[in-house]
């Protein structure tokens, strides 16, 4: 899962997923990274706990506005 976290952080930091943008669905991420949706869920949960991502009920998961380092 560390490789997945690194890959997601790289995309956030390089502007592929800029602050305020919505992440692709869990299914799309699982397909893109060839991992299970539960692995995606755990990675997203970890990044939410770190404040990198925020969940918006009924809308999805977004990059936090202050996630740029």
| Predicted confidence (pLDDT) per residue in 12-29, tens digit | 999 999 999 999 999 999
Q: Which residues, other chains included, contact 14 with Cβ-Cβ below 8 Å and sequence gap of 6+?
A: none
Tell me the pLDDT tens digit for each residue of 19-62: 999 999 999 999 999 999 999 999 999 999 999 999 999 999 99
Asked if residue 10 has pLDDT above 60, the reply is yes
Place of tokens 């949960």: 45
The pTM of the full predicted model, rounded to 2 decimals, is: 0.88
> For the chain, how far is it from start to end, CA to CA, in angstroms?
22
- In angstroms, the CA 43 to CA 64 distance is 15
Quickly state the pLDDT bin for 68 (edges 50, 70, 90): very low
Q: Report which secondary-structure segment, H or E, holds 60.
A: strand 60-63
């Amino acid at each position: 899962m560390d490789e997945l976290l690194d890959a997601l952080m790289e995309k956030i930091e390089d502007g592929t997923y800029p602050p305020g943008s919505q992440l692709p669905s869990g299914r799309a991420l699982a397909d893109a990274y060839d991992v299970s949706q539960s692995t995606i869920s755990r990675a997203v949960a970890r990044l939410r706990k770190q404040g990198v991502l925020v969940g918006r009920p009924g809308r999805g998961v977004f990059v936090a506005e202050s996630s740029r380092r």
